[in-house]
């Protein structure tokens, strides 16, 4: 039978203790690896949740900026359309010959079966052309005022421009004298019968009130100012949407770069173990 001393002499206890020590080292290493993977999995889980939220923010930022670009494009498209139309009609009014002749207006009376009298007014071709020209000019002017007024909240420049075009109220008496009334917002309305009479009886007055020294000339002055300020009418995305949007865009971009490193770390761990 082996004695304790024999067992010691044969190295039993030495072998036992050496083996136990190796196991402990292996267990310690495995525990470290398990702890590393546990920490990594927790980190990736939390990071992926954060990434999901950041993805929504980034998507929201992209959508807002896309909407901004659409709104800006639509604004300038309509702005250019209104300014171009008004410029063309103002140019035509400036040089328009309102001398349509004395027989430009014809009135015919008729009586129906009940004895009711009706007066029909007929305009000559030249008179109708003159009226249509003035109507086009007034319509284009009104459209420009309405567009600028409707978009006055876009920027202070647009608001001031709407006020400039609406200065017809300061000369309302002149316009009303030929048959064009002025509303409080600067838009105008034509009294066709009164305008036709004025064109027929005093064409030079119509030319003076509406021509190069009148409303058309004033319109061209406003148009020139509008064109000069065009590029500064619609504010930048930062000014319109605020610093928060820019910060969100920058933060999410940086976050995406950080999130990429998570995947690289996982791949590295897989290669090591």
**Pick the residue with more confidence: 71 or 194?**
194
* pLDDT exceeds 60 at position 77: yes
pLDDT tens digit string along 95-132? Answer: 999 999 878 899 888 877 777 888 888 999 999 999 99
* pLDDT exceeds 50 at position 267: no
Contact 177, 209 (CB under 8 A): yes
Determine the pLDDT at residue 122: 92
What value does the mean pLDDT of the chain take? 78
Determine the pLDDT at residue 119: 81
pLDDT tens digit string along 143-188? Answer: 999 999 999 988 999 999 999 999 999 899 999 999 999 999 999 9
With helix as H, strand as E and coil as C, how does the chain read?
Answer: CCCHHHHHHCCHHHHHHHHHHHHHHHHHHHHHHHHHHHHHHHHHHHHHHHHHHHHHHHHHHHHHHHHHHHHHHHHHHHHHHHHHHHHHHHHHHHCCCCCCCCCCEEEEEEECCCCCEEEEEEECHHHHHHHHHHHHHHHHHHHHHHHHHHCCCCCHHHHHHHHHHHHHHHHHHHHHCCCEEECCCCCEEECHHHHHHHHHHCHHHHHHHHCCCCHHHHHHHHHHHHHHHHHHCCCCHHHHHCHHHHHHHHHHHHHHHHHHHHHHHHHHHHHHC
Determine the pLDDT at residue 72: 86
Q: Where are the domains of the chain?
A: 68-95+129-242
């Amino acid at each position: 039978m082996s004695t304790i001393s024999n067992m010691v002499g044969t190295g039993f206890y030495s072998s036992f203790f050496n083996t136990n020590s190796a196991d402990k080292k292996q267990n310690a290493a495995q525990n470290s690896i398990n702890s590393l993977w546990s920490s990594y999995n927790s980190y990736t889980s939390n990071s992926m949740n954060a990434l999901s939220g950041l993805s929504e923010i980034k998507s929201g930022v992209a959508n807002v900026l896309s909407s901004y670009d659409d709104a800006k494009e639509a604004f300038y498209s309509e702005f250019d359309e209104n300014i171009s139309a008004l410029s063309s009609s103002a140019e035509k009014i400036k040089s328009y010959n309102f001398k349509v002749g004395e027989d430009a207006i014809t009135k015919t009376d008729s009586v129906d079966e009940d004895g009711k009298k009706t007066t029909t007014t007929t305009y000559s071709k030249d008179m109708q052309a003159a009226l249509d020209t003035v109507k086009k000019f007034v319509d284009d002017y009104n459209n420009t005022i309405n567009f600028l007024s409707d978009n006055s909240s876009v920027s202070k420049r647009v608001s001031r421009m709407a006020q400039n075009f609406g200065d017809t109220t300061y000369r309302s008496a002149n316009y009303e004298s030929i048959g064009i009334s002025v509303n409080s917002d600067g838009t105008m309305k034509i009294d066709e019968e009164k305008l036709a009479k004025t064109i027929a009886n005093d064409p030079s007055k119509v030319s003076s009130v509406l021509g190069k020294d009148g409303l058309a000339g004033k319109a061209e002055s406003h148009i020139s100012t509008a064109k000069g300020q065009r590029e500064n009418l619609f504010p930048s995305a930062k000014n319109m949407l605020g610093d928060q949007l820019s910060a969100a865009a920058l933060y999410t971009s940086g976050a995406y770069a950080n999130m990429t490193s998570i995947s690289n770390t996982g791949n590295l761990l897989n290669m090591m173990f």
